[in-house]
Structure 1
């Protein structure tokens, strides 16, 4: 086994993902980590982060060029471990890992067929039905095809089979007329899945696995959401629930999963069961919450991939607010701003203070883009009025 005291150099090859800051924030909690980033986003604010050793701008035109650049940076910077952070990066790495010169420096990963099953809601549904894993009744619809409307009980939710993130592309239909109009008129660009609408509450299970076995996990229950339908939690509680981890263990074992994943479930009030909706085969928006609760998934992923043993950390059952959640909380209760101890230990604001320059650039860029968007929107409206 390798020594855990040694400095670990991590290469993130898909740094253009919006999850970059979240993963870097988690790794910044560990002193002996050096982070290198390859990104196709030249102006990303994370290049100003205190915790990024080197931000490498590189626009690849092919998978081979991308893997060659990874090989170059691994040798140049003596990288210990390569860890993608978003599903596109994971899929490219898994599919083309034979092009890597140092495969031993690649994080533990599932087989391509297992990744595709996890990443495609249609394939996952068929897999769960075949393995008697609780899930919503569903119908998978191929592109340019119509569903079998006679077999559908309303209300239903329609989703793209591949996750777009933050609830994008998800629609709720209360009756057949709306669903028929959607498929006849909108003509979805890709395969979709129609799921029964479950009345209850949503809950998530985050895991780190090796060869189908769960090494560590956290379970989170949302307590605050944005106004946007089907969007990610902006406030949550870290909880424990044996029925959830039992169902998740069975699922991850059945696809022989290696690596990290976020599993979305719903508690169905109708039959009092937790049902698995989907797997996000990547890091998730509230990975920081797990880290503050004691389970630092990016760091433990590094240790697992480097074959460094670790004791399973004890989970702290905390509540957590994202920055969006914190702002909403203060808006609803202005006195909450004086709860300094909670804000510093249970929200993403602590990471803003740790990395002020990157967050300053993030704020400026966000404000500038918002201003430009509103400016051109107003200009177009004025032209139409004239």
Structure 2
């Protein structure tokens, strides 16, 4: 009997992990999420919803709860959806009686969940990465000095945030001064990175002990915002990067890597890594590669690498916004049909789809408006 317990603080990633799991197998799913995410209790994707602290205060409670659930369901498998979920399970994994999907150890997780550490890794491995600096805080920004070395515009990012939070494209000394004086911007330390004008790409991978078991390269169609359809493509350089990264780090688990192709030279640069579920995981499920299915049954892909090199999909597949999906919801018995039916029944998925559409048309944040006004690309959340 299959049963899963999805663990994480990022709501979107918990939803993506659960959708992929339940599209693969009809199973009971529970979730353990951060406190203050009560809206998720209304989702039809899980039968049990629990809130906990992920910073260590509730570790004993987590162990007791998981072991009690495992006693009633011997096949229970823990699935961390994000870095907080992986850190929590790693702290107590020796005391858990439930199974755990392949995940990176804490040292490896920290290496890839840090933008500066990932940049250093790329430099050491000989992989393309934009020239970058590390600064203690925004007060260390000197526009003239940075622009002389990295060029203008340049990008400022926090080391550990996700979903493009805190990312700023600085194109003038005035914009730099505004950022330094902005009391609401309290991220530190920061990575300052050369801006690559071009199109975004994503590399998704699953590795076991340094060997790639599944990989896919994706790009969003223009305008490359969060509701733009995703296209899967073949790219030799990024697939080679997947193998190099996995081998050099002996990586185990899933990972998403943000990349960008320079529009002038065609060179592909690796921007940052996300050692966790990504926000568009359902798109690869739709196109025939379910990373969660590969993750929970890693022995099935031993000795081979699963991949997809074509196909189009949406991050948000809710049939109310994509009416053509009603056909799959009512007549398709594959993972694709199960995914459509799951979304059709789930109010949280409907809400996420509606909010994405609203943000696209009505809620451009100020820094996004500035980038668009100057013909600069908007970072895509993964």
Q: Is the structural similarity TM-score above 0.5?
A: yes
Match of 1:248 in 2: 242
- Change in Cα spacing, 1:319 to 1:120, as seen in structure 2 (3 Å) is same
Q: How does 1:73-222 map to 2 (within 5 A)?
A: 73-94=69-90, 96-98=91-93, 100-102=95-97, 105-143=99-137, 145-147=139-141, 149=143, 150=145, 151-165=149-163, 167-186=164-183, 188-222=186-220
Partner of 2:246, secondary structure, is helix
Gaps of 5+ in 2: 359-382
Q: TM-score, normalised by structure 2?
A: 0.77
> Contact 1:68–1:99 at 8 Å: present in 2 too?
no
Q: For residues 13 and 100 of structure 1, what CA distance do their matches in structure 2 show? A: 16
2:32 aligned with 1:55: no
Partner of 1:217, secondary structure, is strand
Match of 2:375 in 1: none
- Change in Cα spacing, 1:351 to 1:222, as seen in structure 2 (3 Å) is same
Q: TM-score, normalised by structure 1?
A: 0.77
Greater shift, 172-181 or 38-47, is seen at 38-47
- What's the Cα RMSD here? 3.5
Q: For residues 316 and 187 of structure 2, what CA distance do their matches in structure 1 show? A: 33
Q: For residues 142 and 59 of structure 2, what CA distance do their matches in structure 1 show? A: 38
> Contact 1:45–1:359 at 8 Å: present in 2 too?
no
How many residues are treated as equivalent by the alignment? 344
The Cα shift of 1:240 comes to: 0.8
Match of 1:322 in 2: 315
> Contact 2:231–2:312 at 8 Å: present in 1 too?
yes
Q: How does 1:322-341 map to 2 (within 5 A)?
A: 322-323=315-316
> Contact 1:12–1:84 at 8 Å: present in 2 too?
yes
Match of 2:271 in 1: 277
Greater shift, 209-218 or 56-65, is seen at 56-65
Which one has a bigger Cα radius of gyration? Answer: 1
Match of 2:368 in 1: none
- Change in Cα spacing, 1:361 to 1:120, as seen in structure 2 (3 Å) is closer
> Contact 2:213–2:306 at 8 Å: present in 1 too?
no
Partner of 2:5, secondary structure, is strand
The Cα shift of 1:88 comes to: 1.4
